[in-house]
Structure 1
Amino acid sequence: MLEETLKSCRLTQSRWFENENPKHISFPAHGSSIVTCLLFSYGRIISASDDHSIHIYSPTTGELLHALKGHEGGIWALAVHKDTLVSGSTDRTLRIWDLSTGNCTHVFGGHTSTVRCLAIVKPEIVEVVKEGGEIVKERWPKRPLIVTGSRDHSLRVWQLPKPGEQEYKCFGTEEEDPDPKENPYHCLCLSGHDDAVRTLVARGKTLVSGSYDCSVRVWDIISGEQKWTLSGHTDKVYSVVLDVNRKQACSGSMDGMVRVWNLVNGQCQHTLKGHVSLVGLLGLSPSYLVSAAADSTLRIWDPDSGESRHTLAAHTGAITCFQHDEFKVLSGSDGNLKMWNIRDGSVVRDLLTGITGVWQVVFEGRWCVAASNKIGVTSLDVWDFGIADEVDVEEEVDINME
């Protein structure tokens, strides 16, 4: 199965670069509202908007499969695990949805301001230091968790409800927010930041959060212990990524800097200079760290040495979205969506041109989806770089992991 998956990756990669005419459809979505989040999972496009709605679309036809309604504010955070979707909103709640039915099964209250970022933490094998210094490998967390970050300065940890488990819906009242301690799925409240939590990432037992208080903090999401406060940025932190293999985290800030932090000793290993304005987006793959900024450039870095490899400088406006892997980068800015060769920094093609702006882009296996504004109308564009009988890489890997 692994050999077949790697073969599929190579074949799909060649098609991304060489296929001049991939299958392409475009359809309207969310009226004229901004698409704040975009996911592609198990053959479904999942888009969220500041119009309070979440839509599920078919990538082959553009058909609207489900419209998930219930939030009373814009949705600014999404995460998905198989048939379970988690959303966070300006209405201060966290909602859990069953994607097979489109039903909302749980509503979690407790944050006192916008839920700005979230992640689903799946169990995996991690190294744990026992008393006496012995290092053993254990599976953490024991069951999937949700971590949320809010403009109320706090983070919260919740158990991800399993399909069929007791439904729980807690809304609070106009006069009073709900007490999360009454929620059987609530685990921890992590306090320490002095301003809004803008970004987070979590794996195993490790959570990394970035805040408008200019700090990056590292937490143990099982015990709630704050392990490190990483200080060095001089302005708001907008993006973080976690590299568990190298035991480091990276952060991007409004100060224009990218910093690489050592999670063993809490020290800054590298300060990556080059951007001249807000570094709002970071991405990490095994061989590449990519940063994107309001200065209209993306930069490719060596995550080991911090050395700059390439500067991608063909956009004319702030980078609004991007995703990358070991071969390519897709990036959106005012008026266009570009594909780059990450290995030499060259432009491969323009996927979209002549549009007002690109809000989100995501690719998975053979599929690419972008959300953009076309003369005041919100549109989703879908490209299929595969062949009719090809199996998506994501599905193959998950089948192999079961």
Structure 2
Amino acid sequence: MKLKRFLLRYYPPGIILEYEKEGLLKTKSMDLLDLTPETNPDELLGEIRRSEPLVTESRADQVKQLILRLQQKQGQKDQPGFCFSKSLKAHMLPLTNVAFNKSGSRFITGSYDRTCRVWDTASGTDVHTLEGHRNVVYAIAFNNPYGDKIATGSFDKTCKLWCAETGKCFHTFCGHRAEIVCLAFNPQSTLVATGSMDATARLWDVETGEEAATLTGHTAEILSLCFNTVGNQLVTGSFDHTVAIWDVASGRRVHILTGHRGEISNVQFNWDCSLIVTGSMDKTCKLWEAVSGKCVATLVGHTEEVLDVCFDLRGQLIATASADGTAKVFSSTTHQCLVTLQGHDGEISKICFSPQGSRILTAGSDKTARLWDVQSGVCLQVLEGHSDEIFSCVFNYEGDTVITGSKDNTCRIWY
């Protein structure tokens, strides 16, 4: 093996090694999830050198400089709030979802008007309109970190794969017998997974456009799915109250996670692939071991359905959003509720952490999005201006731009 170069990853902190083996270029990730500005860089370097043979004596100083850069990034203070930049009359009908590419230079919006639009973030101009679906475009995603492809899932039972640069449609994936409501690229950008109201998930080959696998076993609609960061497992959540873990290579179901007493609203792996969090209409979240499928904790406290749930990028915190109008932050290790976020007047449908993990963004039926301090639970800012409920909200990779998408047919950009 021959080391070619290092790549730095700020969120979550890590160093990617690009190396050559048997004539092929490969990468491996050194996750530094416990890194803080107080970490001793020399001690950490010693640990890395003991565990990673590619980091030789001649490369040691280079790695130390990368550690110092990561610590410097962590030491930067988050901006206290966001300034409204512009409102885009994005679609003829309500928006369903918004998503950024990795760099944050572009974002996409899906809509009930059957289109997906690609936008330039800085100027707010419409770069492409992706037309061809015959019903609502509900699920959308860039193939981050590459950002050169877009997948759109529709109520017309198809998923389409597009060129992000030209707007050309590469493939239309046909096979589902009902609406597609969730999708995701694997980290390698070789597969797209789609989840459908037909109770199946399917894997599609990005290069050929062929179906790679049909994942059967759920008895009701699949509303959420997520690849782990390695890309060897997929988790699906269903209205049948169960969650399934699938082996991507074989299409085989590895575990079925039972215990929820209501429909599953969202599922997500943590960064190191060890845990899965699930939110449910039974008013609880559950935390599961990915390897064994064992439930390790039930997170309680909400008085109505849990509509969204997510990990922070380090996998140390879990945020939940509920129809009871509150959000909560839990520790993924102690399973205790650390703080309750109160202020929305109505249900909270979406929640996400900033890449740095110190802020939370929520979107609600009260026509506002809200920015919260994770530690104190204080509402730092109310993002107002939409005239109807907000369906979607996202941070860019740097955490310095926010997009909100609403039932009022518009999206708003905040810097």
Q: TM-score range by the shorter chain?
A: 0.7 to 0.9
| 2:99 matches 1:39 | yes
**For residues 270-289 of structure 1, what are the structure 2 equivalents within 5 Å?**
270-285=297-312, 286=314, 287-289=316-318
Q: Which amino acid aligns with 1:199?
A: S
5+ residue gaps, structure 1, are 124-142, 169-184, 385-402
- Pick aligned residue for 2:254 from 224, 227, 240: 227
Aligned to 1:27: 88
**For residues 316-335 of structure 1, what are the structure 2 equivalents within 5 Å?**
316-325=345-354, 326-333=357-364, 334-335=366-367
Aligned to 2:163: 98
5+ residue gaps, structure 2, are 1-7, 9-65
User: 2:319·2:351 contact (CA, 8 Å) conserved in 1?
Assistant: no
User: 2:87·2:413 contact (CA, 8 Å) conserved in 1?
Assistant: yes
Aligned to 2:3: none
Q: Which amino acid aligns with 1:122?
A: P
Of 97-106 and 355-364, more deviation after overlay is shown by: 355-364
Return the offset for 1:301. 0.4
**RMSD (CA atoms):** 1.9
Return the offset for 1:246. 6.0
Aligned to 1:209: 236
Cα distance, 1:150–1:6 mapped onto 2, change above 3 Å: farther
Cα distance, 1:59–1:157 mapped onto 2, change above 3 Å: same
Return the offset for 1:45. 1.7
In 2, Cα distance between the equivalents of 1:94 and 1:224?
19
| 2:213 matches 1:188 | yes
Return the offset for 1:372. 2.7
User: 2:266·2:280 contact (CA, 8 Å) conserved in 1?
Assistant: yes
Aligned to 2:343: 314
**TM-score with structure 1 length normalisation?**
0.79
| 2:333 matches 1:301 | no
In 2, Cα distance between the equivalents of 1:56 and 1:213?
35
Cα distance, 1:380–1:10 mapped onto 2, change above 3 Å: farther
User: 1:247·1:263 contact (CA, 8 Å) conserved in 2?
Assistant: yes
In 1, Cα distance between the equivalents of 2:225 and 2:285?
16
Aligned to 1:197: 222
3-state secondary structure, aligned to 1:378: coil
3-state secondary structure, aligned to 1:105: strand
Return the offset for 1:226. 0.9
Return the offset for 1:7. 4.2
- Pick aligned residue for 1:362 from 374, 383, 394: 394
In 1, Cα distance between the equivalents of 2:84 and 2:113?
29
In 2, Cα distance between the equivalents of 1:330 and 1:300?
12
1:68-101 deviation per Cα after TM superposition (whole angstroms, max 9, x unaligned)? 1000010111121211001110101110000111
**For residues 1-400 of structure 1, what are the structure 2 equivalents within 5 Å?**
2=66, 4=69, 7=72, 10-11=75-76, 13-14=77-78, 16-17=79-80, 22=83, 24-31=85-92, 33-41=93-101, 42=103, 43-81=105-143, 82-123=147-188, 144-161=190-207, 185-203=210-228, 204-243=231-270, 245=272, 247-285=274-312, 286=314, 287-325=316-354, 326-333=357-364, 334-352=366-384, 355-364=387-396, 365=398, 366-373=400-407, 377-384=408-415
Return the offset for 1:337. 1.5
3-state secondary structure, aligned to 1:52: coil
In 2, Cα distance between the equivalents of 1:55 and 1:280?
26
Return the offset for 1:6. 5.8
Q: Percent identity?
A: 27
In 2, Cα distance between the equivalents of 1:327 and 1:266?
30
Of 356-365 and 82-91, more deviation after overlay is shown by: 356-365
User: 2:392·2:405 contact (CA, 8 Å) conserved in 1?
Assistant: yes
3-state secondary structure, aligned to 2:384: strand
In 2, Cα distance between the equivalents of 1:295 and 1:156?
33
In 2, Cα distance between the equivalents of 1:65 and 1:5?
34
Cα distance, 1:119–1:297 mapped onto 2, change above 3 Å: same
1:189-241 deviation per Cα after TM superposition (whole angstroms, max 9, x unaligned)? 11100011111111221111110001011110111121111111111111111
User: 1:34·1:359 contact (CA, 8 Å) conserved in 2?
Assistant: no
1:45-64 deviation per Cα after TM superposition (whole angstroms, max 9, x unaligned)? 21000110111112222111
User: 2:97·2:405 contact (CA, 8 Å) conserved in 1?
Assistant: no
In 2, Cα distance between the equivalents of 1:245 and 1:60?
33
User: 2:307·2:350 contact (CA, 8 Å) conserved in 1?
Assistant: no
In 1, Cα distance between the equivalents of 2:247 and 2:372?
37
3-state secondary structure, aligned to 1:26: strand
In 2, Cα distance between the equivalents of 1:354 and 1:36?
15
Cα distance, 1:120–1:261 mapped onto 2, change above 3 Å: same
Return the offset for 1:263. 2.2
User: 2:110·2:138 contact (CA, 8 Å) conserved in 1?
Assistant: yes
Return the offset for 1:303. 0.8
Q: Which amino acid aligns with 2:330?
A: W
1:326-361 deviation per Cα after TM superposition (whole angstroms, max 9, x unaligned)? 110111111321110011111111122573321211
In 2, Cα distance between the equivalents of 1:86 and 1:355?
29
1:162-205 deviation per Cα after TM superposition (whole angstroms, max 9, x unaligned)? xxxx6x5xxxxxxxxxxxxxxxx221111100011111111221
User: 2:243·2:264 contact (CA, 8 Å) conserved in 1?
Assistant: yes
User: 2:275·2:289 contact (CA, 8 Å) conserved in 1?
Assistant: yes
